[in-house]
Amino acid sequence: MRALTWQGQGKVSVEQVADPSIQEPTDAIVRVTSTAICGSDMHLYTVLAPFLTKGDILGHEFMGIVEEVGSGVTNLKPGDRVVVPFNISCGHCWMCSRGLFAQCETTQNVDQGTGASLFGFTSLYGAVPGGQADYVRVPHADFGPIKVPEAGEDERYLYLSDILPTAWQGVQWANVRPGDTLAVMGAGPVGQLAVASAQYLGIEDVIVVDRVPERLERMKARGARTINLDDLDGSQVSAVGDAVRDLTDGRGADGVVEAVGMEAHGNPVAAAGLSAVSKLPSAISEPLAKNAGIDRLAALHAAIDSVRRGGTVSVSGVYGGALDPMPMMQMFDKGIAMRMGQCHVKQWTGELRDVLVDADPFGVEQLATHRVGLDEAATMYDVFQKKQDGCQKVVLKP
């Protein structure tokens, strides 16, 4: 079969690889009909290179048709149309029984000190072959896959695999109610879906911070107030906080969703350090990245500065640094709450799927800007990473 494989920092290619097969009774084989390039894939393209091996199959946002099931899978049958959550969870361990599916103890990577295994996402999370391919072996298929109606375009349901529940969780964790103000750092796909989720939940006043004009225009069209980073004076962190306070009677937002993560602009020193570490041989770079890595924290620090005293910062963006400097005095003095972590996808997919069956209030069918065949995946990684051609979301069709 064909699969998009990692070949080195900033280099991916579609190669012919062996077809997957059933290895455990709870496995299923899914024929992929749509798969997306996610912002998190850009971490693999660049800064997480130490944790990848040449030939690793990438991709964690995918859906398709069940081709085969193991003897232990009774909830699915060949021909079922499914979306597969990006985190692999068993559904019955201590963590899963509490809805903490991203921390599943059955697939937890204890040797790496990390949570549940993820599709297509480095040795830190199990090195499980991903979904940017013709076929995927899905472990724990007796719990994970989400059956969706046979009718309708793939893009109505595709983002249930990751970014829609991630955005929904981000808003839920921001602890905002109707009448409150929510600020969203970053207007990429997760940020846009966070705005849509907030509006669906009755949060009418949403402020969006970004620097990409077409993204900000989309958010204005949804009724959000916007702040363009390129229009601000002074350092990015304090300037963003001041701009948010100017729009909230000097108080700050009641809740902030940070939807950017380690790819944030604003710290060229951290960017250079991340780039340098990722180019070293894995034996050297892996322990450095684990124990001495830092992230680009401009968006996170701006979120902390922008939230009102007693408010909540909800971090949906992915971070991986071990020595990240945090403004602890400011955080303590303001008495803020913080929630963060990988999305517990299946905690949210039931209600979100039910919404999408009858309507598209989140605009998921209009989210993708580029739809291409799997063979064009390598080119689109580069276009997406460089934000060329107005690219904000790519859907690949195997």
Nearest CA to 391 among 362, 375, 371, 364? 371
Secondary structure element (H or E) that encloses residue 302, with its range? helix 298-306
- Residue 295: its pLDDT value, please? 59
Cα angle 157-162-167, degrees, rounded to a multiple of 5: 100
- Torsion of Cα atoms, 275 then 276 then 277 then 281, to 10°: 110
Looking at residue 298, its pLDDT comes to: 87
Burial class (CB in 10 A: 0-12, 13-18, 19+), 141: buried
Give kind and range of the element (H or E) at residue 306.
helix 298-306
CB 303 within 8 A of CB 194: no
pLDDT for residue 5: 97
- For residues 329 and 187, give the distance between their C-alpha atoms in angstroms, rounded to a whole number: 28
Of 152, 183, 202, 128, nearest to 312 (Cα)? 183
d(CA 375, CA 367): 21
pLDDT at 292: 44
**pLDDT reported for residue 326:** 82
Q: Tell me the C-alpha distance between 268 and 181, whole Å.
A: 31
For the residues of 151-211, what is the DSSP string, one character each?
A: SS-GGGTGGGGTHHHHHHHHHHHTT--TT-EEEEE--SHHHHHHHHHHHHTT--EEEEEES
Token pair for residue 10? Answer: 């900033």
Helix (H, G, I), strand (E, B) or coil at 275: helix
Phi, psi of 194 (to 5 degrees): -65, -40
Sites in the chain below the pLDDT cut of 50: 264-285, 288, 291-292
